[in-house]
Amino acid sequence: MADRLPHYVNPDPFDVQAVERLTPEQERYYLASQWKLIWWRFKRHRLALISGIVLLLSYLAIVVVEFLAPYELHTRNTGYIYAPPQMVRLVHDGQLIGPFVYGLRFELNLETLKREYVVDRTDVQRLRFFCRGDPYQFWGLVPGDLHLVCPAKDGTLFLLGTDRLGRDMASRLLYGGRISLTVGLLGITISFLIGITVGGLAGFFGGWVDNVVQRLIEIIRSVPELPLWMALSAALPITWSPILIYLGITVILGLLDWPGLARAVRSKLLALREEDFCQAARLMGARPSRIIGRHLLPNFMSHLIASATLSIPAMILGETALSFLGLGLRPPITSWGVLLTEAQNIEAVALYPWLLMPMLPVIVTVLAFNFLGDGLRDAADPYE
Amino acid sequence: MLVYLARRVLTMLLTLLVISALVFVIIQLPPGDYLTSYIAQLEAQGEIVARERIEFLRQQYGLDRPMIEQYAVWVFGLVQGDLGYSFEYSRPVSEVVGDRLLLSLVLNFSTVLFIYIVAFPIGVYSATHQYSWGDHGLTFLGFLGLATPNFLLALIMMYLANVWFGTSIGTLMAEEFIDQPWSVDKAMSVLAHLWIPVIVIGTSGTAGMIRRLRANLLDELQKQYVVTGRAKGLPPGRLLVRYPLRMALNPFVADIGNLLPQVVSGSVIVSAVMSLQTTGPMLLSALQSQDMYLAGSFLMFLAVLTVVGMFLSDVLLAVLDPRIRMHGKAG
């Protein structure tokens, strides 16, 4: 017993890096929060990053539509019905004179009765910037008339042509974006709330609750969505005001979309529920609401956001399809789907193909949301 | 197997019952019924509608009875093949729809078939030639196909057909066969017109299917038994077909549960855009005019189409995969 070594205590403070010295980069990585890790991983996904930026810009744009659009939503240029898109040019007669468009001269083709416009190469119409143009009500509240870009005095600026009432397509597309892009967000909020609640209940309590929810989800998923959407939106009373119809459509879109989310929440919860930290919290007497909110939700929030992003396109397309069929939004509310109803007349489209333009933002938005969602999903679990 | 089948049939019937209740509630949602608007229309035309007549009509169509009773009558009628009465056409629904149901069935079935036939070889090629130019190109095309909504694709196709050929492609048969009894010529005409809507509806489904098959097959190809097989000198073709392909096929069949609702949804709107002689356009007009029995029958028909299709795919899956038979449920 006596020859035992004396107990040695190092007086220096313990150095956590005694075993392995971390480089600054490593340290930064190990200390980073979950959201930071997600961001780093997401950044590597080029396409997703670009899509995110595109979407961010579009959502910023719809905030100030009135300022960006050269014309007001309902402005009719009666002299320019079905006018073709005008190209913005910089060089006239070999001279750089800044952005301008050539004027249009209207001619009616007496044989085909087609409206034809000739570009008048002598009529130079220089664009004005930060100018006074069509008066508008900013978000329907504040009157104003400042525009980013206006046509020249007595000139025209139809970047994407005009429709059958001589309204500027480009401006209408911008205004339409305000409706079409927000429909998806509102709809996903509703479906998100339902999905989290229902999926959370099923996943947390299990047993018969889970069984009932599972069956319900299976049933809803086996019904084709669009016909049901059609039936529901046909049931909206015609007497409702446009804004009520708009809200009604978002509710309808959200009402059928939640099963996918609920299923994701449920399976994640079932897996996490068995983890040790959850068990510990329960043993310490935490209430279910605290366990769900404090310990479980943060763990799969990123997954939820990713799957929500992936289901926004379906909503945007749903609204477009419904409005296109005449069951969804109706003028004076203008969404991309409402604009596309003009393209239902295929003979008109054959003569004036720019009526198909509203397709472009729809496809771009849907693609962007898909890429963004893919990137988010890949980045959602940084500890993998 | 028998137990599994019985359980599956029971679930299917239960699902259909719930859906029928749902459909019934939805078609009852609009305020008023067809009769109200019909009477309003008559009055607007200056006709005096006698009270007795209104009561008579109400009784005849069973609109005066409580909701639950109306539902029961409707469901029992459906089971017996009585689809109810179309107010708009003043004829029984079964007469109004004619061969639209059959054509819808043909259209949806051909689309699913098309998706499988196209997606299978492309998916296998993409997986076995991962990151080759062909794979990248096909993946890009797939993304585009996934993002282009089918009704917009229909519009583009119609526009192109109009500009290039000066013809309208918005039909499912030559004009002389519409409302004619079925004959060989009519069937041939339908076949000749079918391929455009099939491609339009099938594009996004095909794109999704290719992506899933590729992912599944890639997972399978990285497994050890494939490496072992390759090390032992199995020829690549046989190595692929023998095991990994069979494993990857499983989700391929199981996926019909996701695919069918999507295809049916797509066929409805594409038919409406291209005015095909299927259920789509008529469902639309029935919804707009609140012709409830007609709309309800169509909704029910579409639901039956998907639910029965999923049932068949589950049975097929059980035949293919003994694990499902044993456990009694998929997954």
Q: What pLDDT is stored for residue B35 in this prediction?
A: 66
> Residue B244: left if φ>0, alpha if ψ -120 to 50, beta else—which one?
alpha
Nearest CA-CA partner of A250 in A313, A184, A310, A178? A184
Across A312-321, B28-37, B315-324, the highest mean pLDDT is recorded for A312-321
Nearest-Cα residue of chain B relative to residue A318: B149
Q: Which residues of B touch A230 (CB under 8 A)?
A: 268, 283-284, 287
Whether residue B159 and residue A221 make contact (CB cut-off 8 A), yes or no, is no
Give the distance from CA B157 to its chain's centroid. 21
Q: What pLDDT is stored for residue B62 in this prediction?
A: 67
Whether residue B302 and residue A227 make contact (CB cut-off 8 A), yes or no, is yes
Report ipTM for this prediction: 0.78
Q: What pLDDT is stored for residue B329 in this prediction?
A: 46
Task: Give the lowest-confidence range in A228-237, B1-10, B267-276, B322-331.
Answer: B322-331
Are the beta carbons of A126 and A98 closer than 8 angstroms? yes
Contacts of A107 (CB under 8 A, 6+ apart): A116, A117, A118
Nearest CA-CA partner of A133 in A155, A103, A159, A161? A155
Residue A146 in this model has a pLDDT that exceeds 70: yes
Task: Give the lowest-confidence range in B76-90, B184-198, B277-291.
Answer: B76-90
The per-residue pLDDT for range A116-142, each reduced to its tens digit, is 787 777 777 777 888 887 778 878 777
Mutant choice from B18, B152, B165, B259 vs A, greatest count of A C-beta within 10 A: B152
How far is the alpha carbon of A287 from chain B, nearest alpha carbon, in Å?
Answer: 33
Q: Which residues of A touch B23 (CB under 8 A)?
A: 231
Residue B330 in this model has a pLDDT that exceeds 50: no
Residue A296 in this model has a pLDDT that exceeds 90: no
Q: What is the CATH number of domain B100-276?
A: 1.10.3720.10
Give the pLDDT band of residue B166 (cuts 50, 70, 90): low
The per-residue pLDDT for range B207-252, each reduced to its tens digit, is 888 888 888 888 888 888 888 888 888 888 888 877 788 777 777 7
For residue A325, give the nearest of B31, B170, B284 by CB distance: B284
All domains in chain A, ordered by first residue: 67-166 (no CATH), 172-379 (1.10.3720.10)
Q: Which residues of A touch B266 (CB under 8 A)?
A: 226
Contacts of B93 (CB under 8 A, 6+ apart): B83, B84, B85, B86, B293, B294, B297
Question: How large a percentage of chain A has pLDDT more than 90?
Answer: 2
Helix (H) or strand (E) holding A147: strand A142-150
A317: how many CB neighbours lie within 10 A of its CB? 25
Residue A44 or residue A361, greater confidence: A361
Helix (H) or strand (E) holding A121: strand A115-126
CA distances (Å), origin B9, targets B257, B261, B264, B300, B326: 16, 19, 22, 18, 17
0.95 cut: is pTM over it? no
Whether residue A227 and residue B18 make contact (CB cut-off 8 A), yes or no, is no
Helix (H) or strand (E) holding A146: strand A142-150
What is the SS3 assignment for A107?
strand
The domain limits of chain B are 100-276
Residue B128 in this model has a pLDDT that exceeds 60: yes
> CA neighbours within 13 Å on the CB side: how many for B247?
17
Whether residue B147 and residue A356 make contact (CB cut-off 8 A), yes or no, is no
Whether residue A325 and residue B269 make contact (CB cut-off 8 A), yes or no, is yes
Q: What pLDDT is stored for residue A53 in this prediction?
A: 92
CA distances (Å), origin B78, targets B268, B293, B297: 21, 10, 8
Q: What pLDDT is stored for residue B267 in this prediction?
A: 86
- B267-282: average pLDDT: 83
How far is the alpha carbon of B60 from chain A, nearest alpha carbon, in Å?
Answer: 24
Q: What pLDDT is stored for residue A54 in this prediction?
A: 92
- A75-104: average pLDDT: 79
Residue A5 or residue A253, greater confidence: A253
Q: What pLDDT is stored for residue B48 in this prediction?
A: 66
Question: How large a percentage of chain A has pLDDT more than 70?
Answer: 98
For residue A346, give the nearest of B158, B265, B290 by CB distance: B158
- A105-109: average pLDDT: 77
Give the pLDDT band of residue A56 (cuts 50, 70, 90): very high
Q: Which residues of B touch A222 (CB under 8 A)?
A: 15, 19, 257, 261, 303, 306-307, 310
Q: What pLDDT is stored for residue A57 in this prediction?
A: 92
Q: Which residues of A touch B146 (CB under 8 A)?
A: 370
Mutant choice from A180, A226, A229 vs B, greatest count of B C-beta within 10 A: A226
